[in-house]
Chain A
Amino acid sequence: MKKRLITAGCVLFWLVVWQLGAAALDREIFLVTPVAAAKRLIELVPDADFWKSIGFSAVRILLGFASGMLCGTLLAVPAGKFPFVKRLLSPLMTALKSIPVASFTILALIWLSSKNLSVLVSFLICMPIYYSNMLSGIEALDPKLTEMANVFGIPATKRFAGVYLSQLLPHFRAASALAVGLCWKSGVAAEVIGIPDGSIGEKLYMAKVYLETADLFAWTFVIIAVSWACEKLFLAAVGLAVKRIERM
């Protein structure tokens, strides 16, 4: 309870700083007050188009996230087992981690319609995160536990969940905590460049074109809230899986 009060106090402090800064600047085009941004958000909420935009972006970004998660995790398995595969994938993963989102996006616009751009960009951002984390988890698997499982003759399914998954899930959780937020950031950034109709990115772009700073802040708040909710929900699901495996 005390911790929550302190967090709320900190948030309030920065809202007051924002309010005072905006009041001192007195130019809504440059910086709106938090009150004006909140008002605009309240105006947007009843609009069906608002929810359609969130749905449009969420479906694509989460599809990219899920496929990146799956692909990164699956590629880490042979890479952890065969050094050649790890060496082969190393330049690709290093490149994916270093290339800016803007470069991906512009290149992808040549191949894809802007509508599905965020799927590819979120995929390319998530995949190396899961790959690296799961690979370090696989490399850290304790061979003595495998030997123990052999001695006791633990059956394959139990061995997979109890011996291997129980060691890998903390790595999966760490990757997820990083990847969910990043895929939203990169997915929306891609949409701002590609401007697909009916996306959150398009709304941000329009806010910039028409200098509607209140809209820009309102949509930014929406992105933060949706990204936060996705992260919490996904981590809660992973946490449940961890608990289930812990108790087997």
Chain B
Amino acid sequence: MRAEKICKAFGENVVLKDFSADFPEGGITAVMGRSGCGKSTLLMILMGLIPADSGRVIMPEKRRISAVFQEDRLCENLTVSANIRLVTGKRLSPAELDGHLSAVELGGSADKPVRDLSGGMKRRTALLRALLAEYDVLFLDEPFKGLDEETRSRVMEYTRKMTAGKTVVFVTHDSRECEVLADRVIEL
């Protein structure tokens, strides 16, 4: 996947100017920068959800994508497991799903409606949904936002294990997340 001379402005506010980068297959690329520098906008353009003003994204056709968005984008009235099964189908047995839930410290929450979860639990549900979906490219927008230090370390470790050998683009402003997860870092 490659971004070529991407430009994007919202009114007078130019957020991306002639941004070009390669995102190698089978590697984790981190896009790092301070808040408001256009990281999420770049991710949305790469996913094809918003158009660039100029420039282009070259992505092989029929790529399945998975994502953790800037917001959790969970179905609030569905349970944790139903949210995950929306994207996984019946591919995972209940025991397997429980194992994954425990790995992100959501054990025992499978049957809870998402509306009853805390912010951190919702974020982990969104991350698990993205990790368990079938994908060729995974986009992560600040996936560990709102997690306490201890949980974040465990969840990062689990994410590293689950994404080994996969093509991942993730944005963050945290250098430690880059150290643990990224094969390559692009400063924005």
Cβ-defined contact, B87 with A152, below 8 A: yes
B78 contacts which chain A residues (CB < 8 A)? 162, 166, 245-248
A238 close to chain B: CB less than 8 A: no
Residues of A within 8 A of B87 (CB): 152, 154
Residue of A148, A153, A242, A248 near B85 (CB, 8 A) is A248
Among residues 117 to 135 in chain B, which have CB atoms less than 8 Å away from a CB atom of chain A?
A: 133
With a CB–CB cut-off of 8 A, which chain B residues contact A169? 77
Majority-rule SS of A interface residues: helix
Tell me the minimal C-beta distance from A145 to chain B in angstroms: 6
Interface status of B86 (Cβ within 8 A of chain A): yes
Bound-state CA distance A144–B73 (Å) is 7
Chain B nearest Cβ from A204, distance in angstroms: 41
Q: Is A151 an interface residue (CB 8 A)?
A: yes
B18 at interface (Cβ–Cβ under 8 A)?
no
For A166, the chain B residues whose CB sits under 8 A away are: 75-78
- Give the B interface residue count (CB, 8 A): 24
Contact of A144 among B65, B71, B86 (CB under 8 A): B71
List 23 interface pairs A-B (beta carbons < 8 Å), by A numbering: A144-B71, A144-B73, A145-B73, A145-B75, A148-B73, A149-B86, A151-B47, A152-B86, A162-B75, A163-B86, A166-B75, A166-B77, A166-B78, A170-B77, A242-B77, A245-B77, A245-B78, A245-B82, A246-B78, A246-B113, A247-B79, A247-B81, A248-B85
B111 on the interface (CB 8 Å rule)? Answer: yes
Q: Provide the bound-state CA to CA distance between A109 and B87, in Å.
A: 54
Collect the chain A residues with CB atoms within 8 Å of residue B76's CB: 166
Question: In the complex the two chains form, what is the Cα distance from A163 to B87 in whole Å?
Answer: 11
Cross-chain contact A153 with B111 (CB below 8 angstroms):
no
Chain B residue at smallest Cβ distance from A166: B77
> Given B71, B81, B111, B133, which contacts A152 in the complex, CB threshold below 8 Å?
B133
> With A and B bound together, what is the CA distance between A148 and B86 in angstroms?
11
User: For residues 77 through 98 of chain B, which have their beta carbon under 8 Å from a beta carbon of chain A?
Assistant: 77-79, 81-83, 85-87, 89
Interface residues of A in 147-163 (CB under 8 A from B): 147-149, 151-154, 158, 162-163
Please measure, in the bound complex, the distance between the C-alpha atom of A151 and the C-alpha atom of B133, giving whole angstroms: 11
Say whether A247 contacts B82, CB under 8 Å.
yes
Which B residues touch A67, using CB under 8 A? none
CA distance A190 to B67 in the complex (A): 56
The minimal Cβ–Cβ distance linking A173 to chain B, given in whole angstroms, is 11
Whether B85 contacts A151 by the Cβ 8 Å rule is no
Contact present for A162 and B86 (CB under 8 Å)? yes
B161 at the binding interface (Cβ < 8 Å): no
B19 within 8 A of A: no
- A246-B113, A247-B111 given; A154·B77 CB < 8 A: no
Question: How far is A169 from B78 in the complex, measured between Cα atoms in Å?
Answer: 11
Set of chain A residues within 8 Å of B64, measured between Cβ atoms? 153
Can you name 9 extra interface pairs (CB under 8 A) apart from A145-B73, A162-B75, A162-B82? A144-B69, A145-B75, A147-B73, A151-B49, A162-B83, A166-B77, A169-B77, A245-B77, A247-B82
How close is A225's CB to chain B, nearest CB, in angstroms?
32
**Bound CA–CA A81/B125 (angstroms):** 31
- CB atoms of B69 and A246 under 8 A apart: no
Bound-state Cα–Cα, A147 to B161, Å: 28
- Give the contacts of A203-248 with B (CB-CB under 8 A): 242, 245-248
